[in-house]
Amino acid sequence: MDDQGYVIDPVKGPRSVPTHERALEAVRAPAADVDGFVREFLRELNFGQGVSLARATVNDQYLALARTVRHYLMARWLEAIAHQRREPVKAVGYLSAEYLLGRQLDNALLAADLEGVVTDGLAQCGLSLDTLREQEEEPGLGNGGLGRLAACFIDSLATLSVPCIGYGIRYEYGIFRQTFVDGRQVEQPDTWLALGSPWEFPHPESSQPVNFAGHTETFVDDDGSERTRWVPEWGVIGVPYNYMVPGYRNGRVNTLRLWSAQATKAFDLSIFNGGDYVDAVRAQTFAENISKVLYPEDSTPQGKELRLQQQYFFVACSLADFMFEVLDKDFDLTRLPERIVFQLNDTHPVIAVPEMMRLLVDVKKLPWDQAWEITRQCFNYTCHTLLPEALEVWPVDLLRRLLPRHYEIIDRINAEFLADVRARFPGDEMMVRRMSIISDYPERGVRMAHLATVASGRVNGVAELHSQLLRDKVLPDFSRIWPEKFTNVTNGVTPRRFLRHANPSLSGLITEAIGDGWVTDLDKLQELEPLAGDASFRARFREVKRANKSRLVNLLRERDGYELPVEPMLDVMVKRLHEYKRQSLKLLHIVTLYDRIASGRVAASQIQPRTFVFGAKAAPGYWMAKETIHLINAVASTVNSDPALEGVLHVAFPANYNVTLAETLIPAADLSEQISLAGKEASGTGNMKFALNGALTIGTDDGANVEIRRLVGEDNFFLFGLLEPEVADLSAQGYVPSSFYESDDELKRALDLIAAGAFSGGNPDTFAPVVSNLLHEDRFMALADYRAYLDAQARVDAAYADQDAWSRSAILNVARCGFFSSDRSMRDYIDRIWHTDPVS
For residues 463-472, b (16+ Cβ closer than 10 Å) or e, as one string? Answer: bbbbbebbbe
Interaction with ligand 26W in 468-487: which residues (CB under 6 A)? none
Pick between residue 212 and residue 580 the one whose CB is nearest to ligand 26W.
580
Pick between residue 207 and residue 683 the one whose CB is nearest to ligand 26W.
683
140 binds ligand 26W (CB under 6 A): no
Asked if 335 is an active-site residue, the reply is no
Provide the 8-state DSSP code for 249: S
Asked if 485 is an active-site residue, the reply is no
CA dist 187 and 296 (Å) reads 10
Q: Which of 638, 685, 697, 836 is catalytic?
A: 685
Rule CB under 6 A: choose which of 375, 453, 491, 697 binds ligand 26W.
Answer: 491
CA 97 to each of CA 241, 295, 317, 446, 830: distance values in angstroms, whole numbers, following the listed order: 15, 10, 13, 19, 22
Q: Which of 576, 578, 596, 808 is catalytic?
A: 576
Rule CB under 6 A: choose which of 30, 139, 144, 615 binds ligand 26W.
Answer: 144
385 binds ligand 26W (CB under 6 A): yes
Is the Cα torsion angle 812, 674, 138, 132 positive or negative in sign?
A: negative
Give me the amino acid identity at 14.
P
Query: Helix (H, G, I), strand (E, B), or coil: what is residue 100?
Result: strand
Asked, as a colleague might, if the bond just before 737 is cis with ω within 30 of 0, I would say: no
Piece of the chain touching ligand 26W by CB under 6 A; list 266-274, 276-284, 295-303, 647-655:
295-303
297 binds ligand 26W (CB under 6 A): yes
Pick between residue 152 and residue 812 the one whose CB is nearest to ligand 26W.
152
Compute the CA torsion angle 701, 674, 602, 738 (nearest 10 deg): -70
Piece of the chain touching ligand 26W by CB under 6 A; list 29-37, 243-251, 382-390, 402-410:
382-390
Q: E strand or H helix at 262, and its extent?
A: strand 253-263
Rule CB under 6 A: choose which of 44, 392, 778, 823 binds ligand 26W.
Answer: 392
Least distance CB 389 / ligand 26W (angstroms): 9
Piece of the chain touching ligand 26W by CB under 6 A; list 188-196, 218-226, 663-671, 682-690:
682-690
CA 488 to each of CA 176, 219, 377, 496, 765: distance values in angstroms, whole numbers, following the listed order: 32, 44, 18, 24, 46
Piece of the chain touching ligand 26W by CB under 6 A; list 30-38, 145-153, 224-232, 779-787:
145-153
Pick between residue 548 and residue 674 the one whose CB is nearest to ligand 26W.
674
Among the residues of 171-304, which ranges form H helices? 269-273, 277-280, 282-288
CA dist 204 and 227 (Å) reads 32
N-terminal to C-terminal alpha carbon distance within the chain = 19
What are the beta bridge partners of residue 715? Answer: none
Contact, 828 vs 834, CB < 8 A?
A: no
Asked if 689 is an active-site residue, the reply is yes
Rule CB under 6 A: choose which of 298, 355, 571, 778 binds ligand 26W.
Answer: 298
Pick between residue 44 and residue 392 the one whose CB is nearest to ligand 26W.
392
DSSP of 278-344: HHHTHHHHHHHGGGTB----SSS----HHHHHHHHHHHHHHHHHIIIIIS-TT--GGGGGGTEEEEE
577 binds ligand 26W (CB under 6 A): no
The interface mask with ligand 26W, positions 787-816, x = CB under 6 A, is: ------------------------------
Piece of the chain touching ligand 26W by CB under 6 A; list 144-152, 186-194, 600-608, 655-663:
144-152
Dihedrals phi, psi of 610, to nearest 5 degrees: -140, 145
Piece of the chain touching ligand 26W by CB under 6 A; list 137-145, 480-488, 492-500, 781-789:
137-145
Piece of the chain touching ligand 26W by CB under 6 A; list 413-421, 649-657, 683-691, 770-778:
683-691
Q: Which of 76, 148, 447, 581 is catalytic?
A: 581
Least distance CB 685 / ligand 26W (angstroms): 5
Rule CB under 6 A: choose which of 673, 681, 707, 785 binds ligand 26W.
Answer: 681
Rule CB under 6 A: choose which of 239, 390, 409, 635 binds ligand 26W.
Answer: 390
579 binds ligand 26W (CB under 6 A): no
CA angle 685, 691, 695 (to 5 degrees): 125
Rule CB under 6 A: choose which of 56, 81, 105, 462 binds ligand 26W.
Answer: 462
Asked if 685 is an active-site residue, the reply is yes
Least distance CB 157 / ligand 26W (angstroms): 16
Provide the 8-state DSSP code for 78: H
100 binds ligand 26W (CB under 6 A): no
Pick between residue 144 and residue 163 the one whose CB is nearest to ligand 26W.
144
The interface mask with ligand 26W, positions 691-730, x = CB under 6 A, is: ------------x---------------------------
Rule CB under 6 A: choose which of 358, 384, 471, 501 binds ligand 26W.
Answer: 384
Around Cβ 526, how many Cβ atoms within 10 Å? Answer: 15
CA dist 612 and 590 (Å) reads 8
Closest to 361 measured CA to CA, from 220, 219, 228, 222:
228
CA dist 281 and 288 (Å) reads 11
Provide the 8-state DSSP code for 493: B
Q: How many residues bind ligand 26W (CB under 6 A)?
A: 22
Give me the amino acid identity at 647.
G
Least distance CB 443 / ligand 26W (angstroms): 17
685 binds ligand 26W (CB under 6 A): yes
Rule CB under 6 A: choose which of 346, 579, 670, 823 binds ligand 26W.
Answer: 346
Least distance CB 381 / ligand 26W (angstroms): 12
Contact, 238 vs 376, CB < 8 A?
A: no
Least distance CB 577 / ligand 26W (angstroms): 12
- Residue 669's Cα: distance from chain center in Å? 21
Asked if 581 is an active-site residue, the reply is yes
Piece of the chain touching ligand 26W by CB under 6 A; list 296-304, 369-377, 601-609, 796-804:
296-304
Interaction with ligand 26W in 148-167: which residues (CB under 6 A)? 149
CA dist 474 and 486 (Å) reads 12
* Residue with the CB atom nearest ligand 26W in the bound state: 145
Contact, 626 vs 618, CB < 8 A?
A: yes
Give me the amino acid identity at 221.
D
Least distance CB 343 / ligand 26W (angstroms): 12
CA dist 78 and 305 (Å) reads 38
Rule CB under 6 A: choose which of 146, 258, 570, 796 binds ligand 26W.
Answer: 146
Asked if 384 is an active-site residue, the reply is yes
CA 257 to each of CA 92, 155, 190, 241, 249: distance values in angstroms, whole numbers, following the listed order: 13, 14, 20, 6, 22
- Burial of residue 285 (CB within 10 Å: 0-12, 13-18, 19+) is exposed
Rule CB under 6 A: choose which of 301, 404, 615, 818 binds ligand 26W.
Answer: 301
Piece of the chain touching ligand 26W by CB under 6 A; list 201-209, 243-251, 298-306, 543-551:
298-306
The interface mask with ligand 26W, positions 403-442, x = CB under 6 A, is: ----------------------------------------
Least distance CB 307 / ligand 26W (angstroms): 7
DSSP of 389-420: GGS-EEEHHHHHHH-HHHHHHHHHHHHHHHHH
Supply the residues annotated as catalytic: 384, 575-576, 581, 685, 689
Q: Please report, as ranges, the residues that interact with ligand 26W according to CB under 6 A.
A: 143-146, 149, 297-299, 301, 346, 384-385, 390, 392, 462, 491, 681-685, 703
